[in-house]
């Protein structure tokens, strides 16, 4: 009798576990994708040396129905100069700025569209864009005249792209670095936490927060890289020059 009750309890427990696993698998399908390295952000960077611009295409994993992404950049190298949404997406973006008045510095967010017309402060190197799927998602290509230079992160659809312009006086050889990530929403400017919302196989909605989303970093300059042959030739010339200098030094000492 005791064995019968134990068997019945085990069967009931397994049934509950199976039910919970089924619900969990459906509601957090992107969570499992993350375990396989698939939930998060990626970035594709291209450049146009002639106009000193770089375009950063941001593509979260899968096809989120809504969400947001944060980007950090060096405001001493580049300035944010444009925002474009990908196929099927719309939304809004904000750039973080700071302004000092009466020895007090205030950090705040300004709508990117407003910022592009009249900045209200100095860029801190942070921007955040939120997006919503209203049509059919797809991919974006670099604008005409732009050359791809870097790519990193998981594969997905392109929700938006940001344009950056090199500051006057910054050499073309200076590397600009961009990090795409899910911010926790604790910046002094009052930004919100980033997240991605999607729909599971059976139509169940799920949302992933900052701790569940991987980041991506891309970097590059405006300069045209030397071809491998040129690098080899330069290395050989450097080696010959060094050897010649060493022989002269030894001869002088002798």
CATH number at residue 187: 2.60.40.680
| pLDDT for residue 6 | 44
Q: What is the DSSP secondary structure assignment for residue 185, as one 8-state letter? A: S
Asked if residue 254 is part of any domain, the answer here is no
- What mean pLDDT comes out for the span 178-184? 98
Percent residues over pLDDT 70 in the chain:
73
Asked if residue 239 is part of any domain, the answer here is no
pTM of this prediction? 0.77
Domain ranges, residue 149? 27-228
Question: Average model confidence (pLDDT) for the chain?
Answer: 83
Using the structure block, give the residue that is written with the tokens 């961009």: 178
202-213 tens-digit pLDDT:
888 999 999 999
* Predicted confidence (pLDDT) at residue 244 exceeds the cutoff of 90: no
**What pairs with residue 177 in β-bridges?**
219
Percent residues over pLDDT 90 in the chain:
67
3-state secondary structure of 64: coil
| Residue 62 binned pLDDT confidence (cut-offs 50, 70, 90) | confident
Sign of the dihedral defined by the CA atoms of residues 202, 203, 205, 210, in that order: positive
| pLDDT for residue 79 | 98
- Among 88, 48, 46, 86, residue whose Cα is nearest residue 69: 86
Helix or strand run (H / E) with residue 147: strand 147-153
| pLDDT for residue 4 | 46
Asked if residue 6 is part of any domain, the answer here is no
Asked if residue 147 is part of any domain, the answer here is yes
Asked if residue 123 is part of any domain, the answer here is yes
126-172 tens-digit pLDDT:
999 999 999 999 999 999 999 999 999 988 899 999 999 999 999 99
The number of folded domains in the chain is 1
Asked if residue 171 is part of any domain, the answer here is yes
Higher-confidence residue of 184 and 228: namely 184
Q: What is the DSSP string of 192-216?
A: PPP-EEEE-TTS-EEEE-GGG-B-E
Asked if residue 242 is part of any domain, the answer here is no
Using the structure block, give the residue that is written with the tokens 């709508």: 111
- Among 208, 188, 190, 189, residue whose Cα is nearest residue 198: 208
Asked if residue 109 is part of any domain, the answer here is yes
| Residue 236 binned pLDDT confidence (cut-offs 50, 70, 90) | low
Distance in angstroms (rounded) separating the CA atoms of residues 112 and 163 = 11
88-137 tens-digit pLDDT:
999 999 999 999 988 899 999 999 999 999 999 999 999 999 999 999 99
- What mean pLDDT comes out for the span 172-193? 98
* Predicted confidence (pLDDT) at residue 31 exceeds the cutoff of 50: no
């Amino acid at each position: 009798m005791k064995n019968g009750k134990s068997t019945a309890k085990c069967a009931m427990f397994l049934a509950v576990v199976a039910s919970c696993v089924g619900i969990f698998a459906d509601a957090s399908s992107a969570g499992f994708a993350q375990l396989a390295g698939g939930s998060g952000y990626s970035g594709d960077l291209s450049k146009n040396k002639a106009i000193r611009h770089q375009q950063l295409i941001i593509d979260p994993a899968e096809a989120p129905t809504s969400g947001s992404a944060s980007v950090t950049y060096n405001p001493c190298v580049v300035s944010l100069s444009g925002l474009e949404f990908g196929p099927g997406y719309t939304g809004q973006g904000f750039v973080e700025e700071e302004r000092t008045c009466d020895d007090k510095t205030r950090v705040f967010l300004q709508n990117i569209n407003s910022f592009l017309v009249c900045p209200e402060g100095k860029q801190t190197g942070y921007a955040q864009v939120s997006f919503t799927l209203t049509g059919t998602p797809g991919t974006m290509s670099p604008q005409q005249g732009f050359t791809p230079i870097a790519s990193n992160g998981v594969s997905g659809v392109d929700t938006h792209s940001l344009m950056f312009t090199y500051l006057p006086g910054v050499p073309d050889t200076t590397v600009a670095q961009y990090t795409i990530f899910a911010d926790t929403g604790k910046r002094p400017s009052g930004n919100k936490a980033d997240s991605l919302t999607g729909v599971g196989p059976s139509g169940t909605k799920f949302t992933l927060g900052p701790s569940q989303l991987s980041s991506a970093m891309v970097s590059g300059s405006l300069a045209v890289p030397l071809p491998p042959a040129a690098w080899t030739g330069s290395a050989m010339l450097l080696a010959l020059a060094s050897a010649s200098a060493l022989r002269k030094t030894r001869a002088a000492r002798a």
